[in-house]
Copies of this chain bind each other. A is one copy, B any other.
Amino acid sequence: MKKLIERTPETFREKQNIDAHVHHEVIEVDLPGRRVHIEDMQNNRSRWEAFDRLLIATGSSPILPPVSGADAKGIYGLSTLESGLKVRRVVDETSPRRAVIIGGGYIGLEMAEALILRKLEVSLVERAPQVMNTLDPDMGKLVSDALMNVGVTLYREESLEGFEAKNGRVSGVVTDKRTLPADLVILGMGVKPNSNLAEQAGIPLGFKNSIKVDQRMQTDVEGVWAAGDCAQCYHLVRKQPFYIALGTVANKMGRIAGLNIGGETAEFPGVVGTAVSKICDVEVARSGLMEKEARELELDYTAQTIETSTRAGYYPDSGPITVKMLGEKGTGRLLGAQIVGKEGAAKRIDVIATALHAGMAVDEMIHLDLSYAPPYAPVWDPILIAARVLVKKL
């Protein structure tokens, strides 16, 4: 029998052959006893239940540093469907005027877009010199510019120090440089894996406190599995364990865990670090390694950046696109790329992702038979142009 213990009903869709318990939560795992302690949140009761196989899919939680005033109402992290619905309800019902977003990553970018479209005054506080720390700063600057172009007030190199509140509701965001008035605060400082339950049970953790799993998604404990934002994965370019809290990766991990738990044998080879986002009409994408990562790994690399257009220059709605590509000197191996540009820019990262999976060299990429027609690309696709420029420096 399959039993699902799920705290939030909003993220649950009815499935056949599953004994689902929403508003329930596993609060303890007893590994030697092969049983879990389940809390019934609606009836305030708890019970122990035995398991043969256990899948931990506890997800991740928004990071909030220990600052003053964080318990005020009106401060929201976004990590579940439930949390997204809550913020929308708050905007609908309380009509906040001034929103402050803390952090310029994917959540920050997407919430900035959503709140700008809802006509709020949006400020964004970013600790680093540029938003999007999954891009190199030169590419991040293009995203910073895009945020400002759509009306977001950007405060860079400023750190969150705390919150001010009136009558228990947030009224301001205190940084190391100023206090920003706020009716609504969005936390976009990243997420951390919800690995406490596993850790307390004695299940070993791995990269950045995510649950250590093998390629079959099994933890170091036989019969106990983990998948999704709570678990680590393997990075095929870094060639080491990694943590990446993205829906597409979580979904792949869940499938692999499910196949293995069901008796099949399936392995998840790993990720190459692909991610994509947008702020209004500016698209952002990355895959593989950025310069900071290549330096950390002590790789001898070169990076080149090109600017061209998303479509044939004469075609309507052709827009600028910037591609930065990294390759390893000596081997010539493709290491990664970052893309910022107008419509049609971002999905080009999938070519990079595929080439990274295949371990392609940059000089193989310059001949890729990528599609061309004036509505879709210049005769030389931006990826090919970047590869051609990069290959000369390798």
Contact = CB atoms under 8 A, between A and B. Distances in A.
Interface of A: 106, 110, 236, 246-249, 251-252, 268-278, 285, 287, 344, 346-351, 353-358, 360, 364, 367-373, 375-377, 379-381, 383
Given A278-B373, A351-B350, A358-B354, A367 B269 contact: yes
Contacts of A344: 347
A347 B376 contact: yes
Nearest to A249: B369
Give how many copies assemble into the complex.
2
B371 A350 contact: yes
19 contacts: A106-B373, A248-B371, A248-B372, A248-B380, A252-B367, A270-B367, A275-B373, A276-B372, A276-B373, A278-B375, A278-B376, A347-B347, A349-B371, A350-B370, A351-B351, A353-B370, A354-B358, A357-B360, A357-B364
A348 B371 CA distance: 9
A13 to B, nearest CB: 13
B269 A379 contact: no
Contacts of A285: 371
Given A348-B350, A358-B360, A247 B369 contact: no
Contact of A370 (B248, B273, B364): B248
A325 to B, nearest CB: 14
Given A354-B351, A354-B358, A373-B278, A251 B379 contact: yes
Nearest to A269: B367
Nearest to A109: B373
Contacts of A367: 252, 268-270, 357
